[in-house]
Chain A
Amino acid sequence: MTDVAHSARPTQQHALLDWIKSIVMSALPFVVVIALWQFAALFFPRVLFPSLVDVFWRCLEIFSDGAMFWNVASTVLRILGGLAGAFVIGALLGFAMVRSKAVDKFLSPVLTLFQGIPALSWVVFAIIWFHGTEFRIFFIMVMTTLPAFTFQIISALRGMSKDLMEMVFSFRPTRMKMFRTMVAPAILPDILTAWKVNLGNASRVVVVAELVGASGGVGYQLLQQQQLFDMAGALAWTLQLVFFVLLVQGVLTLIENTAFRYRAVSERAL
Chain B
Amino acid sequence: MISGGAETSEDARFDRLIYERVRLGMMSALAVRAELTFSELKALFNVSDGNLSAHARKLETAGYVTCTKSFEGRRPRSVYRITAVGRAALNRYLDHVEAVIRATRR
B is a partner of A = no
A interface residues, Cβ below 8 angstroms from B: none
B interface residues, Cβ below 8 angstroms from A: none
